[in-house]
Structure 1
Amino acid sequence: MGKTVQDYHTQPLLTAAVRDEFWERYIRLAQDVVIPYQYETLHDRVEGAELSHAIANFEIAAGRKTGEFHGFVFQDSDVAKWLEAAGYSLSIRRDAELERKADGIIELIAEAQQPDGYLNTYFTIKEPGKRWTNLNDCHELYCAGHFIEAAVAYAEATGKEKLLQIMCRMVEHIESVFGPGEGRLKGYDGHQEIELALLKLYRYTGEARYLELSQFFIDQRGQQPHFLQQEWEQRGQLSFWGGSRMEQLDLKYNQSHLPVREQTEAVGHAVRAVYMYTAMAELAALTGDEALHQACVRLWDNLADKQMYLTGGIGSTHAGEAFTFDYDLPNDTVYAETCASIGLIFFARRMLMLAPQARYADVMERALYNNVLGSMAQDGKHYFYVNPLEVWPQACSCNPGKHHVKAERQGWFGCACCPPNVARLLTSLNQYIYTVHSDVLYANLYIGSELETELGGTAVRIEQTSSFPWEGAVKLTVHPAEAAEFGVALRLPSWSTGMEIRVNGASLAAAENMENGYRVIRRVWSEGDIIEVMIPMEAHRVYAHPNLRADAHRTAIQRGPLVYCLEGADNAEPLSSIMLSRQGGFKEVFDEALPGGAVAVAAEGWRTEAGSWTGGLYGRERAPRKPVTVRAVPYYLWGNRGSGEMTVWVAESGV
């Protein structure tokens, strides 16, 4: 039987304090560099960065200045995500200057809000008579959703509810426009986001009507007659983008082709999909809707087992930033948008709240350590929107089919959804480490942290220390208020060959109490009990499913949660001339010279010698090869040492 709405509302999300050498560095980078840098960028004060116009639009909408709207129709969402990241940052460390800046933006937003509660600078400035007339293209509910998330995060961090009040007024306006009642629109946004945001608002306020509105949007999607299809036909089949007439509306693009409970495959725009799946999973947990839960499981299985890159990237084509079909995962024309992997992490966390299964945490870890972390430069000021697994810089600049792939991170983007998304994830990372089911605490991520919660009716403090991602040593110290029986569950990572566990120095049997990929330790715990965990973390080869054509006869290297890649900085180009020896082992060395210090991996291989080629463009004889030592570095570090080639998958010689 599922949890009731009230049960789920009163069960708090677990928020730990991160105490981790590896991740604290990136959290501080987000606080000290990323958030201030993005504040300046939103104000168009960073030399060389593409103009944002986001704050300027609000100033015009508020009447502080005159001018025209600039940027994308969803430009407001960049401000919202920055505010959300600021809220999470303030929950970790109060900062009077950051709070002053955030309060100033919130005051500006209040001035831009319309008398009826409506908030959107594009339709306030440019087309005030066309509100809610193009939900397919114009992102009104999407922008509102991001501001709702920001409002909740800021209120939780500071106790200040001005932005929350602004957004509650906006939701009241939305309720007057949408819903099952007479004269209301039976529609939903083309870009999902409002659904999961309303659930956060419900959690914070306890107001069931916010949950009900979220459920309305989820339930309405894909129903006949298709709302977005009708809307499109009513406006003469015209697209907002360029005003051109479209031959056909692609309902799969925003997952409105079928009712959500009937969907079985991840299709369409990848970010929209995982944002929707996130809301579906949380609704299933809130309401006990088993049909919704099973739809989430089917969609997860298709996405994670057939449409996900080794790095945790999703969305294989730049055309629509979308999924294509099972096993279609090209490495050099990949999209793998940063926001999509962040959305995948959101989805994984909600699935873990539904059911404690290690496979969800495995994917969360994979996307976090590789695709998401690799999207940001080590200086915190440059970003990848697209996250390729193979890069040839000349092809990126000269081949029109690869223009979306960049060999170097950019300072900013006109469509800048990804950089603030990274900032808000890093500053809220403390919410992803643990979950609780009944009286069992599940350690989903091995990140050094401190958590206070209740288990078995007893207040408990858990301290975790972790040597991830370089070594596999983890220690959890248990501090119950009094001796009590409850469970502690430790994830056995999918990349590991085993896990050794000692409780107060005594070893536990290897196969004892394995449940859904977790080792569950149930006992009466006393003050200071210690769990020591050692997870083997050796470099090893990874192979792709035979149906994954792009990686046929190739291998990749992984060590612990980290996927590795070859870069031109370490290996003579072209990287396509390199083959790894099938029989060779790996040599692992911690290299302080790599940005931030990292374990590098060396392997024996072969290089085809182009200089010895005697034919023309084609010939009858194979080019000679010579033995070489191949060097690989963590994927998340690529592109931090200048522009050059990069590849994750490498040809392999031998049987």
Structure 2
Amino acid sequence: MEKITPIKVRDYRISDGFWSNYQKLVTEVVIPYQQDILYDRVEGAEKSHAIENFRIAAGAAEGEFYGQVFQDSDVAKWIEAAAYSIMLHADKKLESDIDEVIDVIERAQQPDGYIDTYFIIKEPEHRWQNLQEGHELYCTGHMLEAAIAYYEATGKDKLLNVMKRMIDHIIDRFGKDKIRGIPGHPEIELALMRLYSLTKDKKYMELAEYFIDERGTEPNFFVEERKKRDWTIWNSDPFEATYTQNYAPVREQKDAVGHAVRAVYLYAGMADIAAFGDESLKKACEELWQSITQRRMYVTGAIGSAAVGEAFTADYDLPNDTAYAETCAAIGLIFFAHRMLQLTPNSKYGDTMERALYNCVLAGMQLDGKRFFYVNPLEVNPEYDGKITGYKHVLPERPKWFGCACCPPNVARLITSLGQYCWTESEDTIYSHLFIGGTADFETTKGCKVKVETGFPYDGKVAYRVIPKSGKTKVRLAIRIPDWSKNTCIFFNGEKIDINSTIEDGYAYIEKCFDKNDLLELCLDMTPHKVYANTAVREDIGCAAIQRGPLVYCFEGIDNDQDLNRLRIARNANITEKFEKNLLNGIAILKVSGYKMTSLNGLYSNQRPSAQSYELTAMPYYTWGNRGLNQMKVWLAEE
């Protein structure tokens, strides 16, 4: 199997008009805001108490544990996001703040290496007895990822050593010929593979392999676990085997089922191990990928349609107004896609990574960085959302924080580490996956840097300049050709290249001897177009959505007379676009020809409502909910 590796976070300096602003927002606003949240310093926000939990566990304060059983992971993801921020922009004050938190974490660690504030403070006698609900392995995974990121950012290894001791504690307990166990919530598998990549110590990969290989070999594992104890955390029944992806050995799993975040974290871990030559694991990943993206994914890249269990349900069950579509699930899908690109460079993985990123993930955070969505519906009506049965999980406005706050710091760590998702490289090829401006450093491996200039996602021109370390350098550059661009052109120094002969699995392979003055320009077709769902998606029959480039659009009541139910898109709609630089940080709005249906006087009538011509206004989905309380729809009926 060809070895393909991602670029390191610090080796791609993002610099463009879109993502530079987002990274600046996260660095200057989101990370400090979330730090204040973790210290309970934001008035009107849900209490976190996460830092205080560590202080209590360390003996530095008195009190009771507060929050979710996985509250430690909020601190971990914040540290990881801050570490990536430091990689991009040195910040001694932030570094000092993190060191202070790490000191407390270290003091909270138990003599045997165990670290988890819920069980240290609240139920020390119940450690490792409830893998179904306890999230000990999940919290360990997130804190380990934070430790690795902070070590790579600063060279400081205190937290890394804390987590190595915790992993040694886990290795002593779980494994072949030891105590049987699997994580109730996968995550540690990803972290262990990162630790293996850092240290090359096989014991970390072997533990990851054990957790992957053990899953599904005993579908009743959590049922039997529950029988051994007389206590619970949530008073929940044993999880269904499908909920935790434990219904069959992973190599036999073909459908994405159960809790969506758990699923894609598991699949990403499987892909990490498959990259070391496990073809059966790779095949399982490919089948699960097809299940998600061809039958169980929203047009926004969101996954997990049901509020009950935050879960996948059945093929083509994709309701718009009750969609769960957790932000973390879309982020997990990006993790999975990124790893699939390291197995096989295929544009379908890059296309989905892009779709989830620009739509569902960005919608999960207010444009000011201080409010967040956990749930990302494709249709909203404030008259019943958040109020009536079946819709209480659907919020029409982003809250400041959540009691279960996994999503906000997840968004922060993704955006600050975004550079690593843009590029991968093999022995002879550099792969461009996301069209984000900046400078990529390949000097140690390819003897060059690559500078990208673009106004994406609103401008379809992407300029690549290969900058050799000295003289001319021969480089093989593979550029993703997205599925939404129907007429794509590539020019080298102004001369058009016949890309049809260069495309393989959705990537155009361009091999040239570059010098610093050469220009390779990708021209993407940004023409707005309609999107239709498979007729098996019952909610979307007779409807259309609008997409321009990677951006899915939506209709908000504030632009369309506050009554979206009456609107229809014309079958042969004329769609025009206009860039508004002073609106919502600069966006392209779309005008779509359509109709408004007349309103009936009574509840029912034997006369069909008439259709009056009406010009609809569509906005990028990721910007919805930034202008006050109002209706929103992605899909509208055609007339």
User: Which of the five TM-score ranges fits, normalised by the shorter chain?
Assistant: over 0.9
Alpha-carbon distance in 2 for matches of 1:522, 1:198: 36
Q: 1:180·1:186 contact (CA, 8 Å) conserved in 2? A: yes
Answer yes or no: is 1:100 the counterpart of 2:96.
yes
Structure 2 CA distance for aligned equivalents of residues 528 and 274 of structure 1: 43
CA–CA separation in structure 1 for the residues paired with 2:504 and 2:402: 44
Match of 2:474 in 1: 485
The answer to whether the aligner puts 1:519 opposite 2:505 as a matched pair is no
Aligned to 1:260: 250
The reply to whether residue 279 of structure 1 matches residue 279 of structure 2 is no
* Shift in CA distance, 49/632, structure 1 to aligned 2, threshold 3 Å: same
Q: 2:634 aligns with which of 648, 651, 654?
A: 648
Q: Distance in 1 between matches of 2:82 and 2:239?
A: 38
1: CA distance between counterparts of 2:552 and 2:479? 22
Listed one character per residue, the Cα deviations across residues 367-417 of structure 1 (whole Å, up to 9, x for unaligned) are: 000000111001100000000100001111432110100000000000000
State the partner residue of 1:435.
424
Partner of 1:494: 483
Q: CA deviation at 1:572?
A: 1.2
> Is residue 354 of structure 1 aligned with residue 340 of structure 2?
no
Name the structure 2 match of 1:465. 453
Deviates more, 1:414-423 or 1:219-228: 219-228
- Select 2:59's aligned residue among 60, 63, 71: 63
Per-residue CA deviations over 1:14-57 (Å, capped at 9, x if unaligned) read 94111111001010000000000000001111000000111111
Residue pair 1:2, 1:288 contacting (<8 A) in 2 also = no
Q: In 1, Cα distance between the equivalents of 2:607 and 2:45?
A: 50
Corresponding position of 2:224: 230
Residue-pair matches, total: 638
Which whole-Å deviations, capped at 9, do the CAs of 1:244-282 have from their partners, x for residues lacking one? Answer: 5x3x64011010111111100000000000001111111
Of 560, 563, 582 in structure 1, the residue corresponding to residue 549 of structure 2 is: 560
CA distance 1:2–1:494, change in 2 (3 Å): closer
Give the 3-state SS of the residue equivalent to 1:401 in structure 2.
coil
Aligned partners of 1:575 and 1:647 also within 8 Å: yes
Find the counterpart in structure 1 of residue 318 from structure 2. 329
Instruction: Show the counterpart of 1:216.
Output: 210
Instruction: Return the alpha-carbon distance in structure 1 between the equivalents of residues 389 and 405 of structure 2.
Output: 22
- Aligned partner of 1:174 among 158, 170, 177: 170
Aligned residues: percent identity?
50
Once the two structures are TM-superposed, the CA of residue 100 in structure 1 deviates from its matched residue by 1.1
Using the TM superposition, give the Cα deviation of residue 224 of structure 1 relative to its aligned residue in structure 2, in angstroms.
3.2
Q: Which moved more, 1:435-444 or 1:409-418?
A: 435-444
The letter of the residue matching 2:234 is: W
Q: Specify the SS of the correspondent of 2:311.
A: coil
- Find the partner of 1:291 among 253, 271, 280: 280
| Whole-angstrom CA distance in 1 between matches of 2:522 and 2:2 | 33
Which runs of no fewer than 5 residues in structure 1 stay unpaired? none
Do the aligned residues in 2 keep the contact of 1:476 with 1:531 (CA within 8 Å)? yes
How far residue 10 of structure 1 moved from its aligned partner, in angstroms, is 12
Can you list the C-alpha shifts for 1:482-512, whole angstroms capped at 9, x where unaligned?
4343311111111111211111222111412
Q: 1:458 to 1:648 in 2, by over 3 A?
A: closer
Q: What are the Cα deviations for residues 341-368 of structure 1, in whole angstroms up to 9, with x where unaligned?
A: 0000000000001110001000000000
Alignment of 1:248-647 (within 5 A): 249-285=239-275, 287-453=276-442, 458-481=446-469, 482-610=471-599, 613-614=600-601, 616-647=602-633
Instruction: Indicate which of 141, 148, 168 corresponds to 2:137.
Output: 141
> What is aligned with 2:233?
240
Structure 2 CA distance for aligned equivalents of residues 240 and 251 of structure 1: 19
Deviation at 1:480, TM superposition (A): 2.3
One-letter amino acid of the structure 1 residue matched with residue 248 of structure 2: L
Task: List runs of 5+ in structure 2 lacking aligned partners.
Answer: none
Structure 1 pair 228/74, CA: closer, same or farther in 2 (3 Å)? same
Equivalent position amino acid for 1:17 in 2: R
For the 8 Å contact 2:2–2:426, the answer to whether it is kept is no
Give the partner amino acid of 2:215: R
Following the alignment from structure 1 to structure 2, what is the Cα–Cα distance between the partners of residues 530 and 572?
A: 47
CA gap 1:556/1:522 in 2 versus in 1, 3 angstroms: same
1:293 Cα offset (Å): 0.3
- Residue matched to 2:30: 34
C-alpha contact 2:54 2:117 (8 A) present in aligned 1? yes
| Contact kept in structure 2, 1:14 and 1:453, CA below 8 Å | no
Q: Distance in 2 between matches of 1:522 and 1:41?
A: 50
Cα displacement (A) at 1:448: 0.2
Counterparts of 2:120 and 2:339 in 1: how far apart (Å)?
35
How far 1:229 sits from its partner (Å)?
A: 3.0
The answer to whether the Cα contact below 8 Å between 1:186 and 1:227 also exists between their aligned partners in 2 is no
Residues 1:375 and 1:11: Cα distance change in structure 2 (over 3 Å): closer
> In 2, distance between residues paired with 1:368 and 1:314?
12
CA distance in 2, matches of 1:10, 1:633: 33
* Residue type of the alignment partner of 1:566: F
For residue 173 of structure 1, report the CA deviation from its aligned partner: 0.6
Find the aligned partners of 2:322 and 2:559 in 1 and give their Cα distance: 23
Alpha-carbon shift at residue 123 of structure 1 (Å): 0.5
CA distance in 2, matches of 1:444, 1:15: 15
Matched, 1:200 2:194: yes
CA offsets 1:52-71 (integer angstroms, 9 cap, x no match): 11111111101111111111
TM-score of the superposed pair, with normalisation by structure 1: 0.95
> Deviations 1:449-493 (Å, cap 9, x if unpaired)?
1111159x6411100111101110010001223434331111111
Q: Which moved more, 1:479-488 or 1:28-37?
A: 479-488
AA at the equivalent of 1:459: G
The answer on whether the counterparts of 2:16 and 2:437 sit within 8 Å (CA) in structure 1 is: yes
What RMSD in Å do the two structures reach over aligned CA positions?
Answer: 1.6
Residues 127, 534 of structure 1: alpha-carbon distance in 2 compared, 3 angstrom cutoff? same
- Whether the 8 Å CA contact 2:337–2:352 is kept in 1: the answer is yes
CA–CA distance in structure 2, aligned partners of residues 54 and 363 of structure 1: 34
**Deviation larger for 222-231 or 639-648:** 222-231
Question: Does the Cα contact within 8 Å between 2:359 and 2:621 map onto a contact in 1?
Answer: yes
CA–CA distance in structure 2, aligned partners of residues 113 and 578 of structure 1:
59
Q: Secondary structure at the match of 1:396?
A: coil
Task: State the AA in 1 paired with 2:433.
Answer: N
Kept in 2: contact 1:502–1:533 (CA 8 A): yes
Letter in 2 for 1:638: W
Report deviation, 1:85. 0.4
Q: Which amino acid aligns with 1:626?
A: Q
> Whole-Å Cα distance in 2 between the matches of residues 14 and 341 of structure 1?
24
Alpha carbons 2:576, 2:591 under 8 Å: kept = yes
Question: Deviation above 6 Å: which 4+ runs of structure 1?
Answer: 8-14
Q: Could you report, residue by residue, the CA deviation over 1:620-655 in whole angstroms, capped at 9, with x for unpaired residues?
A: 0112331111000000100000000000001101xx
Q: Are the equivalent residues in 1 in contact too, given 2:64–2:122 (CA < 8 A)?
A: yes
For residues 266 and 258 of structure 1, the distance between their equivalents in structure 2, rounded to whole angstroms, comes to 12
Name the TM-score, length of structure 2 as normaliser: 0.97
Q: Secondary structure at the match of 2:544?
A: strand
Between the aligned partners of 2:533 and 2:631, the Cα distance in structure 1 is 22
